[in-house]
Amino acid sequence: GENVEQHPSTLSVQEGDSAVIKCTYSDSASNYFPWYKQELGKRPQLIIDIRSNVGEKKDQRIAVTLNKTAKHFSLHITETQPEDSAVYFCAASIFWGGSQGNLIFGKGTKLSVKP
Amino acid sequence: GAVVSQHPSRVICKSGTSVKIECRSLDFQATTMFWYRQFPKQSLMLMATSNEGSKATYEQGVEKDKFLINHASLTLSTLTVTSAHPEDSSFYICSAVRGLAGARTDTQYFGPGTRLTVL
C-alpha cells in the first residue's frame, strides 16, 4: 500500500522567513496530494492541494510543488507569520474507477513561527 | 459551503459501554465518508471508508465488530465504539468527500472531531 514520509517533524523559523516541508510517497499511482493545517484540538483544514497533472500550484503565500518522477512533493510558505504556527500534514490519494481514494497521511510537521 | 459536523464533540464514558458518534455533511451530499483516529501528537490514521448504502471498508487491524459504521443517508454516517475500553480513548475525526455534479473530486472536508475518554 501507499506510504507517505514527511520531513521535518518539527520546524522553527523566524517571522518573515520561508518554511519548506517535504513529503515522499511510494505508490506511483497516487494522483492527488493535499496539505492540511491542524491547530491544537481542531480539525484539519485543507490549505492547498495539487493533482498529478500539475507541477506547481500557488495560492498567495503558499505554494506546492510536485515531482512525479522522484515521487515527492513540497509545501512552501513564504513570509511566515505567527498565525502560521500549527501542525501541517501532507497526504496522498489514489483515485480510480470513479471511486474516491482514501487519504494516506504523513506524520506531520509542527511549525513554530517566532515573532 | 462544505461544512461537516460531528456530535458529540466530547464524551466520557465508563469501560464496557458503547458510544455513538455522528458525522454529518450539512450543506452537501457525501456518498463517501471516512473515519480517522488520531492519538496525541500523532498523525491521522484511517480506520474505515464508509459508503452510503453499503458496508464499510475497514483498514487492516481495525476490528469491524468493535467499530460499527453505518452510512444510512447521503448526509450522515455514524461510528459506534462498542464495549469501549480505556485504550479506545482517542480523537475520532470524520471526513466527507464533496462530489460536484458531473465532476470527480478528492477534496475531503473534515469534521471538528470527537474526543472520547473511556474511564
Q: Are strands B10-13 and B114-118 parallel, antiparallel or unpaired?
A: parallel
Return the CA Rg of chain B. 14
The chain-wide mean pLDDT, for chain B, equals: 88
Query: Residue B103's pLDDT is what?
Result: 46
Phi, psi of A83 (to 5 degrees): -75, -5
Q: Does B106 have pLDDT greater than 80?
A: no
Q: Rounded to the nearest 10 degrees, how much is the dihedral formed by the CA atoms of A54, A110, B58, B33? A: -60
Query: Residue A95's pLDDT is what?
Result: 66
Q: Which long-range contacts (CB under 8 A, 24 or more apart) does A59-64 make?
A: A62/A35, A64/A33, A64/A35
Query: Residue B80's pLDDT is what?
Result: 97
> Cβ contact (<8 Å) for A108 and B34?
no
Contacts of B113 in chain A (CB under 8 A): 41-43
Express each pLDDT in A39-94 by its tens digit: 988 889 989 999 888 899 999 999 999 999 999 999 999 999 999 999 999 999 87
Express each pLDDT in B23-73 by its tens digit: 999 988 887 899 999 988 889 999 998 888 788 989 989 999 999 999 888
- Smallest CA–CA distance, residue B33 to chain A, in Å, is 9
Comparing C-alpha atoms, which of A21, A38, A12, A19 is closest to residue A72? A21
Identify residue B89 by its one-letter amino acid code.
Answer: S
> Cβ contact (<8 Å) for B110 and A43?
yes
Measure the CA–CA gap between B79 and B33, rounded to whole angstroms. 11
Phi, psi of A38 (to 5 degrees): -130, 120
Identify residue A104 by its one-letter amino acid code.
Answer: I
Q: Does B25 touch chain A (CB under 8 A)?
A: no
